[in-house]
């Protein structure tokens, strides 16, 4: 049976909205390298064009949207969403950083002479870590507590940053930088393609980098396309 294409306007619907409304689309977007997180405000048409596919190909691959309760964050509170981001995505990111940092150093030392790309991986991953660690701390200690108080009390908390738009602007810029580092890592490794002489540590490094990439895409997607816009709207009504 031929799969039916979803019926949307690809010129006005953003790729971030599509990812929120049809969570089963995310796996396809990942496979086709369609940026739905850092550039979630792109139209579906523009995002597809940048990835070298047509909107019809994407919408046909997605088919009729399926309801996935586990991914239905649009009906959750902001506090629930933030708790999920911290307990799942921030926790995973910190664990992955610890493991990948050790692997990247080990592989660079052992294979850097024959595979210059792993030297780039070691360097760029270090830069990514330098972005992510303080970024998550700022969210957990400054932005998320503000949003929680805003939602639970119904009043604007006192803050050192004025409107919530200011820290959100910084978070978005940092997400953009992290996204650029992920693109650099994928380019340096030719899409995490292993050389014939790759040892177990080499394989583990690339596998964990690819896993972290996908998790960060989902993580940033939830913040850029759902948490931040809702927090901005909530503050505007207070």
Note whether 58 and 44 are within 8 A (CB).
yes
Would you give the DSSP letter of residue 142? Answer: I
What is the model's pLDDT at position 6? 60
Residue with tokens 């992290």: 178
Q: Can you give the pLDDT of all 238 residues of the chain as single tens digits? A: 445 556 788 898 999 999 998 878 898 999 999 999 999 999 999 999 999 999 999 988 887 544 444 457 888 999 999 999 999 999 999 999 999 999 999 999 999 999 999 999 999 999 999 999 999 999 999 999 999 999 999 888 888 888 999 999 999 999 999 999 999 999 999 999 999 999 999 999 999 999 999 999 999 999 999 999 999 999 888 6
Residues in contact with 121: Cβ distance below 8 Å, sequence separation at least 6, in sequence order:
104, 107, 108, 185, 188, 189, 205, 209
| pLDDT score of 1 | 40
- Contact partners, residue 175, CB within 8 Å, separation at least 6: 37, 38, 220, 223, 224
Query: How is residue 51 written in tokens?
Result: 């990835």
CA distance linking residue 67 with residue 166, whole number of Å? 34
CA distance readout (Å), 43 to 12, 35, 71, 227: 6, 11, 22, 19
Q: Is the pTM of this model over 0.85?
A: yes
Q: Is 139 helix (H, G, I), strand (E, B) or coil?
A: helix
């Amino acid at each position: 049976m031929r799969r039916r294409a979803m019926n949307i306007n690809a010129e006005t619907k953003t790729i971030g909205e599509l990812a929120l409304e049809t969570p089963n689309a995310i796996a396809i977007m990942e496979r086709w390298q369609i940026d739905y997180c850092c550039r979630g405000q792109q139209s579906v048409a523009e995002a597809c064009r940048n990835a070298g596919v047509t909107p019809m190909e994407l919408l046909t691959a997605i088919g009729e949207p399926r309801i996935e309760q586990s991914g239905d964050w649009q009906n959750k509170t902001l506090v629930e969403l933030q708790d999920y981001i911290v307990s799942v995505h921030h926790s995973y990111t910190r664990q992955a950083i610890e493991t990948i940092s050790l692997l990247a150093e080990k592989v660079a030392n052992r294979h850097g002479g024959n595979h210059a790309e792993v030297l780039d991986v070691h360097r760029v991953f270090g830069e990514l870590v330098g972005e992510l660690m303080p970024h998550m701390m700022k969210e957990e200690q400054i932005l998320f507590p503000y949003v929680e108080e805003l939602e639970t009390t119904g009043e604007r908390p006192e803050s050192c940053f004025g409107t919530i738009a200011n820290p959100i602007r910084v978070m978005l810029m940092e997400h953009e930088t992290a996204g650029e580092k992920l693109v650099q890592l994928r380019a340096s490794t030719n899409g995490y393609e292993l050389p014939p002489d790759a040892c177990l540590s080499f394989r583990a490094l690339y596998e964990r980098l690819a896993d972290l990439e996908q998790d960060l895409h989902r993580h940033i997607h939830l913040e850029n396309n759902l948490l931040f816009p809702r927090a901005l709207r909530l503050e505007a009504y207070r």
